[in-house]
DNA sequence: GTGGTCTAGACCACA
DNA sequence: GTGGTCTAGACCACG
């Protein structure tokens, strides 16, 4: 599993790593049940302290992306289904608002934004919506 | 100008404020050339430390949302149009990717995401472009 | 004897197994004197490492739920009756406090908690005491 | 704020501390909006490393007990109201089952358990259920 | 082998 | 002043 770090980014290391794992899962490159490399392996491969890797894994577990089991390892969690609480709806709204206002101030218009979103969506592996795998 | 702080949000105060200004501009409630209240007034109205207000203004200036002129105050900047740089394209891609992967892990699908983005776009006041986006 | 593992639970395997045995005894589905399957059988049926089964049995023996006899196997222990020690009283208090504070922070009230406890109690097979509990 | 540690307990330090804070909140000794001592103060008072205190605070924030705001401090969160998801119901059931089966194997009966729960409940400060204040 | 806890201490970011 | 990130390294617990 290849994870890359941008040492210049203001985003904390543990969060950069977590995002990349989330992306891999969203793209279907990591699937529910798949085992992640061990903390030590990840630490070595990314040249990051094991404690920082641990924080990444904690974040991912908190967000229901992985499951950690002492002695066995970390595994991609099954996609949760009971998530449609109003709190999550409001999170989605906030995320969308953030994208739109930032893109607005970068000089993009509605068409640009929609097409950027659609391009990203094309790469995502939504359940019951597979496009190429039969 | 009414700015509200959410004490429960993990987002830093200076960023909460900046986002609200950006939103006001994007919605057309603040228009290019409009003058912002003074640092002192903003600090009083929001019950926030003037230093924090300053950071907000620095952020807004860095993002070309406002222009700060010594002695005269802060003004909403004219809309950016030079979106040709690949750097901005890549920023848009990053923003879209972030929205999509987070929404994915919140349990939403492509339709949910598109409709959330469209709802937000409906409230934005995009300037009309002369050339059609064919 | 059917023991199931929840791969999503953060509870260690050996403890999941021990809890299930304790529950079977409390519900009267396993009765004092009953013989448990051998370590080998348990390991096979649950697809768990024999070492982990051993840890489960150690835990159960420590908690006086079973008795392990060299060469003959494990047996459900007779029901403990000497609850006079203050140590046990204090353990009960701790357990109750844990339930209540966690439930509080999950948003439940006293009525919810009492009714959850009562539902569970209904399934337990308490031995009849000779003296009435006045 | 007085927090005590049991160095012999198998429960991790950061969790011992978190439980005590949860108990203080449940008993109404800490109320929504109250400010917690600073990380450094807590670390000094408990003779625990600041990093460990931080983990306690992370746990408490994850469980919606406190809110952490960089630069300002940590505050007791307002009691959440939108918590009645089925997932939480099942957590309550698990907690109750744990109490009951453990208490059973300690030699207690239904009456003992109910009375232990009731004693604990008497000390809890449930909203809209205040007993002595006014 | 796996993950988890804790310490010590440097340094950064927010208000 | 507040909290937060990261490193280094010792040691513990689970399978």
Which of A67, A60, A71, A53 lies closest to A24, judged by CA? A60
- The integer distance in angstroms from the CA atom of A51 to the C1' atom of F7 is 8
pLDDT digits (tens, 9 = 90+) for B58-110: 999 999 999 999 889 999 999 877 766 888 999 999 999 999 999 999 999 99
Q: How far apart are CA D111 and CA D87, in angstroms?
A: 29
The DSSP letter of residue B94 is: H
Q: How far apart are CA D64 and CA D57, in angstroms?
A: 10
Which of D77, A131, C39 lies closest to B8, judged by CA? D77
Q: Beta-carbon neighbour count of residue A16 at 10 Å?
A: 18
List C-alpha distances in Å: B42 to B9, B22, B25, B57. Answer: 20, 15, 17, 11
The mean predicted confidence, pLDDT, of chain B is 92
Give, to the nearest 10 degrees, the angle between helix A13-26 and helix B86-105. 70
Answer for the pair C128, D101: CB distance below 8 angstroms, yes or no.
no
**Domain segments of chain A: what residues?**
13-76, 81-134
At B131 the pLDDT is 57
- The residue ranges of chain A whose pLDDT is under 70 are 81-84, 129-134
Q: Does residue C129 have a pLDDT over 70?
A: no
Q: Does residue B19 have a pLDDT over 90?
A: yes
pLDDT digits (tens, 9 = 90+) for C7-18: 999 999 999 999
Contact: chain D with chain A (3+ CB pairs below 8 Å): yes
Residues with CB under 7 A from strand E: A 10, 36, 38-41, 51, 54, 57-58, 68-74; B 12-15, 48-49, 51-52, 55; D 12-15, 48-52, 55, 69-72
For chain E, which bases have at least one atom within 7 A of a protein Cβ?
1-9, 13-15
The DSSP secondary structure of D23-62, one letter per residue, reads HHHHTTSS-TTPBPPPHHHHHHHHT--HHHHHHHHHHHHH
Range in A48-52, B50-54, B129-133 with the lowest mean pLDDT: B129-133
Q: Does residue C81 have a pLDDT over 80?
A: no
Query: Looking at the domain that runs over B13-76, which CATH code has it been given?
Result: 1.10.10.10
At D80 the pLDDT is 81
Grouping H, G, I as helix, E, B as strand and the rest as coil, residue A74 is: strand
At B93 the pLDDT is 97
Smallest Cβ distance to B8: which of D67, D70, D71? Answer: D67
The mean predicted confidence, pLDDT, of chain D is 93
- The integer distance in angstroms from the CA atom of D4 to the C1' atom of E5 is 18
The DSSP letter of residue D69 is: E
The mean predicted confidence, pLDDT, of chain C is 92
At B130 the pLDDT is 59
Instruction: Report how many Cβ contacts below 8 Å link chain A to chain C.
Output: 10
Q: Does residue D123 have a pLDDT over 70?
A: yes
At C2 the pLDDT is 86
């Amino acid at each position: 599993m290849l994870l890359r770090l941008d040492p210049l980014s203001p985003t904390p290391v543990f969060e950069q790593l977590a995002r990349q794992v989330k992306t891999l899962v969203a793209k279907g490159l990591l699937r529910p049940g798949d085992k992640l490399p061990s903390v030590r392996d990840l630490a070595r491969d990314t040249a990051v302290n094991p404690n920082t890797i641990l924080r990444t894994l904690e974040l991912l577990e908190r967000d229901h992306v992985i499951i950690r089991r002492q002695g066995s390892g970390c595994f991609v969690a099954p996609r949760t289904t009971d998530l449609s609480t109003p709190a999550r709806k409001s999170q989605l709204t906030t995320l969308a608002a953030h994208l739109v206002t930032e893109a607005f101030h970068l000089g993009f218009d509605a068409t640009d934004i929609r097409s950027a979103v659609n391009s990203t969506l094309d790469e995502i592996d939504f359940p019951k919506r597979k496009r190429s795998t039969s």
